[in-house]
Structure 1
Amino acid sequence: MSLVDTTYKQIEKAIKYIDENFKSHPSIDEIAKYSGMSKYHFIRVFKEYVGLTPKQFLHSITLNYAKEHIKESKSILDSSLDIGLSSTSRLHELFVNLIGVTPKEWKEKGRDVKITYGFGKTPFGNALIGFTSKGVCYLGFYDNNKEDVFQRFNELWENANLVFNQKLAYEYLENIFIKNRKYPLFVKGTNLQINVWKALINIPNGEITTYSDIANILDKPKSVRAIANAIGKNHIGYLIPCHRVISKSGAISGYRWGIERKESLLAFEALKKDKEDE
């Protein structure tokens, strides 16, 4: 048997082991040892063959199980304990408070909705943020096109009462990007768009998925194009993580705030996730 065939058999053995033991959260050392490889050699060749790091693959398996099990569970706590988590905190992103506008607010394009907004810097470039008493309603990145991002924001909330407050905008951006504070999200979209955005919040930090996967999650396997369009309409960048969706081929494309920024977000999250899991 050639070296290539031997390596493939080892990776195949590792995947089977992860599939059968993910609920006990095996360490990379355990999986590597079971596969007959050193830890660092295993991490390298696993990524080459599978396209994901062992950590990413393990987390993906756990999430997929959670999605299925939670449909039948009586409570989120039951799901957390059965998956082997110590609390519900690791699943909290599945249930971020995302609120849609009322039919009246939709029809009147946000009339009488007070939105405070401002500009500021983030680790991923400049951003415009808008927020209401119900939650963050806009977060868009920009480079030198400050007027363009404001125009998109203004068109979305055409009849809202916009109030500029630079100090509060700085505070919100610092809380989100530096202090990792969670805010409710206040969105304006069709029923399909809102359901898609809720599905995006399902994607854990440091993980990726595909447009077709999102379509399957929503039981709309033939509506991949419509799903992709809905993802492209997301107006709350980063917090609704549309950057975690890639094409089935693995290509990183289709990000309204720039492909390079999408790559930076994914690289940052993957590195952060790896450090958390070490």
Structure 2
Amino acid sequence: MTTTTMTQPSAANDLDQARRDYERVTTALKYLEENWRDRPSFEDAARQAGVSPHHFHRTFARWTGTSPKRFSDALTHAFSRSLLADGASILEAALESGLSGPSRLHDLYIAQEAVTPGDAKRRGQGLTFRLGRADTPFGIGVFLIAPRGLSALAFADKGAEEAAETDLTFRYPAAEFVRDDAAAAEYAARIFAGERTPLALYGSDFQRQVWRALLAIPPGKAVAYGDIAAAIGKPSAARAVGAAVGRNPVSWLIPCHRALSSDARLTGYHWGVDRKRAMLAFESFRELHAA
């Protein structure tokens, strides 16, 4: 006896719709990747996909997690960043990227990184950092020390130290680095004994404004990105605040672990959610017993 399994019509229709959506999105992605320098419009991308703009927006967002404009902006940003890294001027990078001028490139960088093209181009130029590792209460600490003070502090699990070092040094591509684990150990002892630690921060004005707001959050407490945006007088800039928090180079001392998503979840910590949870618990316990 032969048993035939019948596919339900609704399931078959769903699969057919998914296949057609996949074809449309891949067509649109290819079109945007090949034409991003011409700044194609939303309607142009929808036309290439063969659907209405409304349907295209929903389909593209569902498949990629972003909008066609943001996808094109990300391609433009990546290309312009490579030009700046290769020595192009800001004007050259703007025009080569299909933008009308430096002001458009500036807006793009603020949206993508919360830094200006000049910040991205000059980052670390003329500086010599001491780079070292030391034990901390939250795993291995990776320290980046400038002549005027601590510029970066990262945390790493065992075996991931090199990745953490690469992450920090990549932020200052034009700088020079000298190995100094002894200096890192001195900073670790000072920081976790609660002593005052001089900082040498290199970031945009907006980033430094957000980082100062983080310092105002009491130990053991946590606030949402929107609360930080309101505290600095930019209540509609929660997304940009989140980007600036993510770019905080000095973990623990500038307490980005005290920043939460809008629904109060422990998400988005660069050095791991488990470490973020441990930091908040460490602070809460210390504050409780200090009272």
Alpha carbons 1:140, 1:236 under 8 Å: kept: yes
Partner of 1:84: none
Secondary structure, counterpart of 1:238 in structure 2: coil
Secondary structure, counterpart of 2:134 in structure 1: strand
User: Deviations for 1:87-109, whole angstroms, at most 9, x for unmatched residues?
Assistant: xxxxxxxxxxxxxxxx9987432
Q: Give how far 1:210 is off.
A: 1.3
TM alignment of 1:29-44, pairs within 5 A: none
Q: Give how far 1:260 is off.
A: 0.3
User: Deviations for 1:243-274, whole angstroms, at most 9, x for unmatched residues?
Assistant: 01112322111100000000000000001001
Q: Give how far 1:181 is off.
A: 1.4
Distance 1:188 1:272 in 2: 31
TM alignment of 1:1-278, pairs within 5 A: 107-143=121-157, 144-177=159-192, 179-277=193-291
User: Deviations for 1:148-196, whole angstroms, at most 9, x for unmatched residues?
Assistant: 111111111222221111111111111111x211212212222211110
Q: 1:210 to 1:158 in 2, by over 3 A?
A: same
Following superposition, which runs of at least 4 residues in structure 1 exceed 2 angstroms of deviation? 103-109, 247-250
Higher alpha-carbon Rg:
2
One-letter amino acid of the counterpart of residue 181, structure 2 = Q
Q: TM-score, normalised by structure 1?
A: 0.59
Deviates more, 1:266-275 or 1:239-248: 239-248
Q: TM-score, normalised by structure 2?
A: 0.57
Distance 1:247 1:104 in 2: 30
One-letter amino acid of the counterpart of residue 289, structure 2 = K
User: Deviations for 1:9-34, whole angstroms, at most 9, x for unmatched residues?
Assistant: xxxxxxxxxxxxxxxxxxxxxxxxxx
Deviates more, 1:221-230 or 1:182-191: 182-191
Gaps in structure 2 of 5+ consecutive residues: 1-116
Tell me how many residue pairs correspond in the alignment: 174
Q: 1:192 to 1:105 in 2, by over 3 A?
A: closer
Alpha carbons 1:105, 1:111 under 8 Å: kept: no
One-letter amino acid of the counterpart of residue 249, structure 1 = D
Secondary structure, counterpart of 2:270 in structure 1: coil
Alpha carbons 2:266, 2:277 under 8 Å: kept: yes
One-letter amino acid of the counterpart of residue 180, structure 2 = N
Distance 2:239 2:120 in 1: 24
Distance 1:250 1:265 in 2: 16
Alpha carbons 1:106, 1:188 under 8 Å: kept: no
Relative contact order (alpha carbons < 8 A, sep ≥ 6): 1 or 2 greater? 1
Gaps in structure 1 of 5+ consecutive residues: 1-102
Distance 2:119 2:274 in 1: 35
Deviates more, 1:255-264 or 1:126-135: 126-135
Distance 1:145 1:269 in 2: 25
Alpha carbons 2:152, 2:250 under 8 Å: kept: yes
Secondary structure, counterpart of 1:257 in structure 2: coil
Q: Root-mean-square deviation (CA), in Å?
A: 1.8
Alpha carbons 2:119, 2:204 under 8 Å: kept: no
Q: 1:106 to 1:250 in 2, by over 3 A?
A: closer
